[in-house]
Amino acid sequence: MERTDYVNDNLSLIQNTEGLTFGTDALLLSAYVNTRSSFGLELGGGSGIISMLLLTRGKLSRADSLEVQAEYASLTERNALLNGLSDRLRSICADAREYKGEREYDVVYTNPPYMTVTGGKMNLDDKKSYARHEHHGTVYDFLLSAKRNLKFGGSFYAVYRPDRLIDLTSAMRQAEIEPKRMTFVHANTESEPSMVLVFGKRGG
């Protein structure tokens, strides 16, 4: 089943209500990305919400959204058409571990699967499981894809779970993407962080 959600005055989103829908992490990552009129690549694009937010806010001039699940890649195409972004947002159905763009990107951003295939409760819905668990690549695989597609000096952004921050920053270092800034997200002043936003530069 599908529904169309109002996101803001510039954006509506078709979502599969039986699959994984966008959440606060996508909104926070789109706000955290600090670029202007750049060419961007999203790794694990889902239904395209982050790329479309970046485009409508002027942070990107063009974007490619890479998604391994064909159903979600198709949703991105439909959402781009719905929001008049088809000329600036390209949906690519491919595996991040294998993808190499036609040219290098100014910025790569991702909300990657944050659970190992043996970690956490496995969702019986495969679509949700693929989005949450590392079936199609570890965080290191995502960082290797970022390195392969990001220009030297280009920017990398990610939102991730704080309990796996060491895995993320270690993968960034191994992929020659130097962590530069991180921001922890708390529900309130007394709670443990629920998310962490990270910015890095390829080549330091």
52-98 per-position pLDDT tens digit: 999 999 999 999 999 999 999 999 999 999 999 999 999 999 999 99
Q: Return left, alpha or beta for 8; rule: phi > 0 is left, psi -120 to 50 is alpha, else beta.
A: beta
- Assign a CATH topology to domain 2-202: Rossmann fold (3.40.50)
Would you state the pLDDT for residue 128?
55
> Residue 146 is encoded by which pair of tokens?
């970022």
Would you state the pLDDT for residue 134?
47
- pLDDT tens digits along 84-136: 999 999 999 999 999 999 999 999 999 998 755 555 555 555 555 455 544 45
Helices (DSSP H) in 57-125: which residue ranges?
70-82
- The residue-averaged pLDDT of 135-152 equals 90
Query: How many Å apart are CA 71 and CA 120, to the nearest integer?
Result: 24
The verdict on pTM exceeding 0.95 is: no
**Residue 21: pLDDT band with limits 50, 70, 90:** confident
Domain positions in the chain are 2-202
